[in-house]
Amino acid sequence: MRRKIILIAAQLFLALSCVFAKETATEKQFQLQPLEPITKENRVLILAPHPDDEAIACAGVIQEAVKAGADIRVAYLTNGDHNQLAFIVYEKRITVRKNEFLHMGRKRREEAIKAMQLLGVNKDNLTFLGYPDFGTFAIFRDYWHTDRPFKSLLTRVSSVPYKEDFSFGSPYVGESILEDLKRIIRSYKPDKIFVSHPADVNRDHTALALFLEIALADLEKEIKRPLVYPYLVHVAGWPLPRHYHPELNLFPPKKFQGSQIKWFTRELSREQVEMKHQAVLRYKTQTESSAFYLLSFCRKNELFGSYPEISLGKPAAQGGFWEGHETKIPSNLYDTFLPETGDGGNGNVNLSAERDELRYYLEEGQLVVNIATARKVSPMFGVMFYIFGYSYEKPFALMPKLRIVTRHKRVLIVDKRKRVKLEGVFMETNEKGLTLKIPLKVLGDPDFLLVSAKAYSGALPAETIGFRKINIKKGD
């Protein structure tokens, strides 16, 4: 009976991946630039949300660094102890006991050590932080300056439980993760960092990118800012075709066609692809349930891409930042989404009648977010914004961390875990979109913002914009 349940779960997972599959992009749709070679003088830091992400996304880079004689380190944010499906398939049994999930976390740690040793990275160069799988975004958003840490749903613990990990005993709060990242970066001083992408749909991947951005800002006066190369892993229906195809190239997801992301590619030799293949297979806890997906990253190249930073300092009439993109949404969803592209920040964009646009600008000490749609807005249309401010003058733990949810003419604002009413926040809606105004004062008078948005129609999200960094030019 249990075996049947396991097989049904695996088949359902495969079926869903096919349902949400999207067309794979081609080389003609993207301008890919070669990644700068790694030399012996480089100090390379790979940041992985879970054990296996470093092999999936960066095994080729790791091999290049090892071959060049560069100093390379790998740090893991979590031990990956929250993957229920993988646990069921690998262990061939169902359990709800917390110690079993901690066992899975220790097992994945062992697999990471073996995979990295295969690629030439010594155990001493691996750092495991041990924070909660499937919980780090909630920590970034909600758990700062508090004596009530985040509690993991499956392991049911509120501090790092792994005695062998770098962060053993650290409470599940934002300060713990931020300080650990800063300790690693401060002591190692990397000049190149490879990290998960802020547009990745997996929240641990998003969180690691955000924590890194804050850590580098805190360390700005202490160390030279390293080059940062984000990598994508989780995007619906990507990459296709599934399974091991060493003869194929890896291209960005089609949803990013025309986006502002600057893409870099690292070519792999056939031997490097096969070594990457073997490294991924070391993660038996994951490949027994998801080999068809994980091995689809073992191709002739690896991809890295970053959004440019946005700088705001003028009202919309004099310039600002616009984003626009043509899109097609299934007819059962509201036929508008928040777009992915634009002009880079300093001028008007001529958008056709078939495009929707999202724009940010400053106006009289306020951040203004305007969404203009190409079609009539449904009464069910809503948007959820994440807005996290950073100031060089005060600890990030004390800065507001806002989740703003709009639904037609209503606005809900949550700061960390508390619903709040903020003076001066204003929203105006009409049949063609909405305008939201937020005083910079209630955002903590930030030097920069980390912002994301998700559009809704009814209960289902239509599209998400990955986190962008918006620099505030004070005094303009």
Domain range enclosing 279: 2-306
Asked if residue 342 and residue 281 are part of one domain, the reply reads: no
pLDDT above 70 (res 296): yes
What total number of domains does the chain contain? 2
In DSSP terms, 368 is beta-bridged to: 361, 437
Runs of H (alpha helix) within 233-371 = 270-281, 284-294
CATH of the domain at 453: 2.60.40.10
Assess contact for 184 and 127: CB atoms under 8 A: yes
Out of 275-279, 377-381, 420-424, give the one with best mean pLDDT: 275-279
Q: Three-class SS of residue 16?
A: helix
In this structure, the answer to whether residues 327 and 292 fall within a common structural domain is no
CA distance linking residue 414 with residue 420, whole number of Å: 6
Q: What is the pLDDT of residue 94?
A: 58
Residue 386's nearest CA partner among 448, 452, 437 is: 452
Specify whether 239 is located in the same domain as 317: no
Q: Tell whether the model's pLDDT for residue 11 goes beyond 50.
A: no
DSSP E strand stretches across 144-256: 192-196, 227-231
Token readout for 78 is 């979590």
CATH number at residue 78: 3.40.50.10320
* DSSP E strand stretches across 242-355: 262-267, 301-306, 310-312, 321-325
For the record, the structure tokens of 153 come out as 């749903």
| Residues 286, 419 share a domain | no
Q: Is the same domain home to 234 and 373? A: no
pLDDT in tens, 330-378: 222 222 333 333 333 332 222 333 456 788 889 889 999 988 877 777 7
Q: Of 306, 338, 367, which residue is a domain's last?
A: 306
**Mean pLDDT computed over 440-459:** 87
Any idea what the Cα angle at residue 250 is, between residues 248 and 253, rounded to 5°?
135
Average per-residue pLDDT for the chain: 83
Q: How far apart are CA 341 and CA 258, in angstroms?
A: 6
Q: Which pLDDT belongs to residue 26?
A: 56
Tell me the per-residue pLDDT of 383-418, one tens digit each, with 9 for 90 and over: 899 999 999 999 999 999 999 999 877 899 999 999
- Domain co-membership, 229 together with 95: yes
Q: What is the pTM of this model?
A: 0.86
Nearest C-alpha neighbor of 279 from the set 55, 4, 69: 55
| C-alpha neighbours within 13 Å on the C-beta side of residue 80 | 24
Is the confidence at residue 27, as pLDDT, over 60? no
Token digits of residue 384 = 């959820």
Contact status, residue 72 vs residue 44, Cβ threshold 8 Å: yes
Same domain, 294 and 335: no
